[in-house]
Amino acid sequence: MTPDEDRIAQLYEAFNTRAFDRVIAGMTSDVSWPDEVEDRRLEGVDAVRDYFQTTTAPVRIQHQPIALFTPSPGQVEVLTRQTVVSEEDGSVWSSQRARHRFTMRDGLIARLDSQQNYVALTYEGVERLLQRLCDAINAQDVDAIMACYAPHARFQDKLEDGELSGAEDIRAHFEHLFATMQVTLAIRDYALQPDDWTRARLQVEARGLNGHLWQDGGVTVWYRLESGRIVEQEIDDGDGTTPNARCAKCWKRPSPCSTAAKPPNYAASSILTRPGRTRSRPARLSLVRTPCLRTSRGSSRRSGPTSS
């Protein structure tokens, strides 16, 4: 994350807690800011301060940044989930994705441009993160991999019935992975989902240290991002044998559907292996997350992209 990107991430944190003095302190005196209530622009910090303190007083606006990147020097772009809640009774007035572009000058915000109700299925900041992760795994660069994950990131190891949680677990996992096999990833495609998870379809080639091919095929990975880093992921190897944690009937829960039967045999080994475990050559290497055996809609969540 660049210094400007870090400043913008901190700005969202300050805004969410209504620490408006901290937000104003990060702006130039002649800042240009959108008034999304009156559909006009505000010029100067005094106008922006008044807007924060009076116009937005009846509501509480919360932003959860999903991805951010630097499209060109002096600019930071952010994809965020914007939720507007009544200050009086807590009812949700609106919830939508928004695309923000900040123009920076000497480390301060000089201008914000906002696109409300962002419904596209792709976003450059998400794609850049996924590509950085694939490049880092292909290069076996553990430090670069860790830069793609939030310090509190977690994901489930289905095969071992355990969870990798936090930087120490995740670092140990990848160090163990690279000590036992060679993995090459390529992005086939990806799509933002209505709940702000990202579905990515990857091509995976895995070989033993002797070069013998263990797997060459596709997997689907679901990522949840916060402020440009991965905080959760779920894996689906697409063979239809294992219940997917995000089936159509319980797709917002992070744990597997309780009524879906667990297959009696997990013959495949896993790229997401618990650190410290060693295995012989797997019958079929897998990223072990597969679609739910039941769905109330006739198709699992893996059926394809859906616009928000």
CATH number of the domain residue 71 falls in: 3.10.450.50
Q: What strand order describes the sheet that includes 149-157?
A: 162-165, 149-157, 229-236, 213-226, 197-208, 181-192
80 and 161, same domain (yes or no): no
- The model carries a pTM of 0.76
185 and 74, same domain (yes or no): no
Q: Residues 17-49, buried b or exposed e (16+ Cβ, 10 A)? A: ebebeebbebbbeebbbbebeeeeebeebeebb
31 and 176, same domain (yes or no): no
Q: List, in order, residues 6 or more apart from 73 with CB less than 8 Å away.
A: none
Domain boundary among 115, 138, 167: 115
Query: Region 255-281: what's the mean pLDDT?
Result: 34
Flag the least confident range among 65-69, 217-221, 256-260.
256-260
Q: In which domain, by residue range, is 76 found?
A: 3-115
250 and 109, same domain (yes or no): no
Domain boundary among 71, 97, 115: 115
Is 186 strand, coil or helix?
strand
N-to-C CA span, the chain: 27
Predicted pLDDT of residue 308 = 37
Domain boundary among 64, 96, 115: 115
CA 294 to chain centre: 26
| Dist. CA 59–CA 137, nearest whole Å | 44
- Asked if residue 246 lies in contact with residue 222, where contact means CB atoms within 8 angstroms, the answer is yes
157 and 248, same domain (yes or no): yes
Residue 242: CA count within 13 A, CB half-sphere: 22
79 and 156, same domain (yes or no): no
Assigned domain for 308 exists: no
131 and 105, same domain (yes or no): no
275 and 143, same domain (yes or no): yes
Q: What is the mean pLDDT of the chain?
A: 79
CA-CA-CA-CA dihedral for 217, 251, 199, 120, to nearest 10: 150
Domain count, the chain: 2
163 and 52, same domain (yes or no): no
pLDDT over 50 at 243, yes or no: no
Assigned domain for 110 exists: yes
Please, which pLDDT band fits residue 253 given cuts at 50, 70 and 90? very low
- pLDDT tens digits for range 84-105: 988 888 889 899 999 999 999 9
- pLDDT tens digits for range 177-214: 899 999 999 999 999 999 999 999 999 999 999 999 98
Q: List, in order, residues 6 or more apart from 159 with CB less than 8 Å away.
A: 266, 268, 269, 270, 272, 273, 288
CA-CA-CA-CA dihedral for 70, 71, 74, 79, to nearest 10: -60
Residue 233 identity: Q
DSSP class of residue 274?
Answer: P
